[in-house]
């Protein structure tokens, strides 16, 4: 692939702009400046620098973000900053988007990618990818609350009761709920239907990938390795 096309595919701008970057000597490969934008380069394992910053060629990006509160999971945020503002601007240009949504006040593990089939697999309820949430409740967690959530609670706009895949008390006012769907405000609405109220919510795990094992500070992100991506597959 020519170098200008490579840079365009990685989100550095239009093909014309990327060609100008190369022609102006702003791109280097293996420590040597490449100033011919039409030079063909092998993409496998390609590492390069733009304006002195190192990058690795990736056909698709798979990202984990530790989402802070008061960020919207939208490419066109309206009331709060969008989660894409936490990533390098190149990702916005290559159409990286959140995999599903977390409410603006919900924190924790959020996946992001520019791979459409991956996004569909992870967000579609047909694939039953379990997601683990830890909720802080207004009233103390009781065995009765856990039982209700496991048996299923009726939400106003659902034809049948919704039940947690698993559920356990973490602390006096904290409860872990595992869901295989991704319905609108599901954890909050299930807790309300069970007679309690969610005051804070964090997604701690998707599939077998845990936020704790990623060691991400709030607002930080990382690329996912092949081994980490494998943890996202349903059993």
Q: Tell me the pTM.
A: 0.90
The answer to whether the CB of 222 falls within 8 A of the CB of 216 is yes
Q: State residue 217 phi and psi, 5-degree precision.
A: -65, 160
pLDDT tens figures, 21-38: 999 999 999 889 998 889
* Two domains, one topology: 3-56 and 62-125+213-230: no
d(CA 108, CA 105): 10
Taking domain 130-206, whether its CATH number is 3.30.70.1560 is answered by yes
CATH topology classification for 62-125+213-230: Alpha-Beta Plaits (3.30.70)
Give the pLDDT confidence score for residue 156 in this predicted structure.
Answer: 86
pLDDT tens figures, 97-110: 999 888 899 999 99
Structure tokens that stand for 118 in this block: 């991956």
Per-residue pLDDT of the chain (235 residues; tens, 9 = 90+): 999 999 999 999 999 999 999 999 999 998 899 988 898 999 999 999 999 899 999 999 999 999 999 999 877 767 889 999 999 988 989 999 999 888 899 999 999 999 999 998 888 777 778 999 999 999 999 999 999 999 999 998 888 899 999 999 998 999 999 998 878 889 999 999 999 999 999 999 999 999 999 999 999 999 999 999 999 976 5
Give the pLDDT confidence score for residue 235 in this predicted structure.
Answer: 58
Structure tokens that stand for 10 in this block: 């990685």
Give the pLDDT confidence score for residue 234 in this predicted structure.
Answer: 64
The answer to whether the CB of 67 falls within 8 A of the CB of 108 is yes
Q: Which of 35, 103, 105, 115 is catalytic?
A: 103
103 catalytically annotated:
yes
Give the pLDDT confidence score for residue 233 in this predicted structure.
Answer: 76
Give the pLDDT confidence score for residue 20 in this predicted structure.
Answer: 93
SS (H, E, C) 16-84: HHHHHHHHCCCEEECCEECCCCCCECCCCCCEEEECCEEEECCCCCEEEEEECCCCECCCCCCCCCEHH
Structure tokens that stand for 214 in this block: 């990623």
Q: Nearest Cα to 194, choosing from 170, 213, 209, 175?
A: 175
Domain boundaries, the chain: 3-56, 62-125+213-230, 130-206
CATH topology classification for 3-56: 3.10.290
């Amino acid at each position: 692939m020519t170098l200008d096309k490579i840079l365009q595919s990685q989100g550095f701008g239009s093909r014309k702009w990327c060609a100008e970057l190369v022609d102006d000597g702003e791109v280097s490969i293996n420590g040597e400046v490449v100033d011919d934008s039409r030079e063909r380069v092998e993409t496998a394992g390609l590492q390069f620098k733009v304006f002195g910053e190192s990058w690795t060629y990736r056909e698709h990006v798979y990202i984990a973000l530790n989402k802070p509160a008061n960020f919207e999971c939208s490419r066109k945020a309206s009331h709060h900053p969008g989660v894409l503002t936490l990533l390098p601007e190149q990702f916005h240009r290559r159409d990286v988007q959140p995999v599903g949504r977390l409410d603006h006040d919900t924190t924790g593990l959020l996946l992001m990618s520019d791979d459409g089939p991956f996004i569909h697999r992870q967000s579609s309820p047909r694939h039953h990818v379990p997601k683990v949430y830890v909720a802080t409740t207004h009233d103390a967690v009781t065995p009765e609350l856990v039982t209700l959530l496991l048996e299923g609670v009726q939400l106003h706009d659902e034809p049948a009761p919704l039940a947690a895949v698993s559920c356990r008390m973490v602390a006096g006012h904290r409860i872990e709920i595992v869901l295989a769907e991704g319905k609108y405000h599901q954890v909050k609405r299930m807790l309300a239907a069970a007679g309690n109220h969610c005051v804070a919510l964090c997604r701690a795990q998707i599939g077998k990938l845990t936020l704790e094992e990623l060691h991400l500070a709030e607002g930080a992100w990382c690329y996912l390795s092949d081994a980490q991506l494998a943890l996202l597959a349903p059993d």
